[in-house]
Chain A
């Protein structure tokens, strides 16, 4: 049972345009959401996060939007750069006691930014 879903395995955009990566979740107990970026042969690195009490968080070119009623979040990258080409993982944290330190990950979306 996949609790965090990234339904687009890949996305291709032109340099300078906006990239929008989507993520859906099913567990209403999730209270914190994160995006990780992964280059080939490297471990994932933290990109940006958002608490469930907010609907938007911005960090430079990266903005994450959260729609709790739809159980949906999205990552916007503006403007997209070739160096942004990587796999992006959506992850969520549960708030029920012992699960406080474990993340559930989606399958990832491969973003390709074309020059």
Chain B
């Protein structure tokens, strides 16, 4: 059972480039989330989804977009990368308050 799978694990972007962080889960969870973790900081919620076709903003949504066309997939899109988006990104899924996290994507914007 794979759980929550994130790709890529590492990525370096130039300022202004765009990319999509992929996230897929095989637990049939309705709820999915994107968090970012900056050094020395806790996890901050970027976007979340309560089911296919339904998404909503979290604490820090600026500069990001999401979509949820299937229960399994919840990609995170960065349109114009900025140095402030250098962070570790975690995708998670849940059927209640116990979130299951992926292993993270370390993103650097230079």
Residues of B90-110 whose CB lies within 8 A of A: 90, 92, 94, 96-104
The secondary-structure label for the interface of chain B is strand
Contact count band on B: 20 to 34
A98 to B57, CA, bound (A): 12
A89 to B37, CA, bound (A): 12
A65 to B104, CA, bound (A): 30
A42 to B4, CA, bound (A): 12
A105 to B41, CA, bound (A): 9
A-B pairs under 8 A by CB, number: 53
- Chain B positions within 8 Å of A, measured between CB atoms, are 4, 31, 33, 35, 40-45, 48, 50, 56, 58, 90, 92, 94, 96-104
A48 to B103, CA, bound (A): 19
Contact count band on A: 20 to 34
A89 to B41, CA, bound (A): 10
Given the contacts A44-B90, A49-B98, A101-B31, A107 and B42 also touching, CB distance less than 8 Å: yes
Q: In the complex, which residue of chain B has the Cβ closest to the Cβ of A46?
A: B98
Q: In the complex, which residue of chain A has the Cβ closest to the Cβ of B92?
A: A43
B103 touches A46 (CB 8 A): no
With both chains docked as a complex, state the minimum distance between the C-beta of B2 and any C-beta of chain A, in angstroms.
Answer: 13
29 A-B contacts (beta carbon < 8 Å): A4-B42, A6-B42, A34-B98, A42-B104, A43-B4, A43-B92, A43-B102, A43-B103, A44-B43, A44-B90, A44-B99, A45-B101, A46-B98, A46-B99, A46-B100, A93-B97, A98-B56, A101-B31, A101-B48, A101-B50, A102-B33, A103-B45, A103-B97, A103-B99, A105-B35, A105-B43, A105-B44, A106-B42, A107-B41
